[in-house]
């Protein structure tokens, strides 16, 4: 048997999929992660439990959602992922979940307001809510692209559905998905507490959001160390 396409990426996606149930973002077989590689993408097979996923079970398709290689049928969200990749060339990874707190916001067709510095950092403002679209076609992908184009947020909640996040890599998209659920839970609790105390939830001003987002994007974390004299010669 010849070696499958993209073995390293298949292995990476297998490990990343394990993080979805570990972080409480999915139940049973719902949810998926994909990665773009050139004009192909690698994505989870449909209806396979996360504990049963292996590198060999991942499916390779082109960016029109046509299977190139794989023993299993690809995720029912494959057309959605393919559409996003075609329209957003900067995206290298996509995550889809039905994480409970974020999906509760989606069920009310409400964006998640930016009331936390962590939201300003990661999302650059509120997490937007897109409209309703049926599963299995490009409609969801079109709605994700419509809402996220020109938006700083790497995440979107879709009305009555769930969460989609994008990133330059599948790991970056996974981080965004974890953060969506984390802030969705905290903001939900904040509104419950505010209602109980009859006090408003405190919004962060747009100017402060801009400052926090700039700091997180351009200052926070480690930067490459300056080259040594030996490296320069």
Q: Is 162 a residue whose pLDDT tops 90?
A: yes
- pLDDT single digits (tens) 166-206: 999 999 999 999 999 999 999 999 999 999 999 999 999 99
d(CA 125, CA 233): 45
Angle 186-188-193 from CA coordinates, rounded to 5°: 90
pLDDT of residue 105: 98
For the chain, the average pLDDT equals 95
d(CA 45, CA 76): 8
pLDDT of residue 226: 54
Average pLDDT of span 154-161: 98
DSSP 164: E
| Exposure of 105 in the CB half-sphere (CA atoms within 13 A) | 27
Is the model more confident about 222 or about 52? 52
pLDDT of residue 203: 97
In the sheet that 40-43 helps form, which strands lie side by side, from edge to edge? 67-69, 59-62, 40-43, 32-37, 93-97, 162-167, 155-158, 129-130
Task: Give the domains, in start order, of the chain with CATH numbers.
Answer: 7-111+127-171 (3.40.225.10)
pLDDT of residue 223: 74
Cβ burial, residue 131 (10 Å; 0-12/13-18/19+): middle
d(CA 19, CA 46): 18
pLDDT of residue 228: 46
- Strands 40-43 and 59-62, bridge-based pairing: antiparallel
- pLDDT single digits (tens) 12-54: 999 999 999 999 999 999 999 999 999 999 999 999 999 999 9
């Amino acid at each position: 048997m010849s070696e499958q396409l993209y073995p390293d990426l298949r292995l990476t996606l297998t490990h990343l999929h394990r993080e979805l149930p570990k972080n409480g973002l999915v139940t049973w077989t719902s949810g998926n992660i994909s990665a773009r590689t050139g004009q192909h993408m690698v994505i989870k097979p449909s209806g396979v439990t996360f504990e049963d996923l292996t590198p060999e079970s991942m499916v390779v398709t082109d960016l029109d959602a046509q299977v190139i290689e794989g023993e299993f049928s690809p995720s029912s969200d494959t057309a959605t992922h393919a559409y996003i990749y075609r329209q957003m060339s900067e995206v290298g990874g996509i995550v889809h979940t039905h994480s409970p707190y974020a999906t509760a916001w989606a069920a009310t067709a409400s964006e998640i307001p930016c009331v936390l510095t962590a939201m300003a950092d990661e999302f650059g403002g509120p997490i937007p809510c897109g409209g309703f679209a049926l599963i299995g076609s490009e409609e969801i992908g079109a709605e994700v692209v419509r809402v996220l184009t020109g938006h700083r947020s790497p995440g979107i909640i879709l009305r009555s559905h769930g969460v989609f996040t994008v990133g330059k890599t599948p790991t970056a998209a996974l981080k965004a998905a974890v953060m969506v659920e984390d802030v969705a839970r905290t903001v939900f609790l904040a509104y419950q507490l505010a209602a109980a105390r009859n006090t408003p939830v405190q919004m962060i001003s747009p100017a402060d959001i801009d400052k926090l987002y700039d700091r997180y994007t351009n200052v926070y974390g480690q930067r490459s160390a300056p080259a040594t004299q030996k490296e320069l010669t």
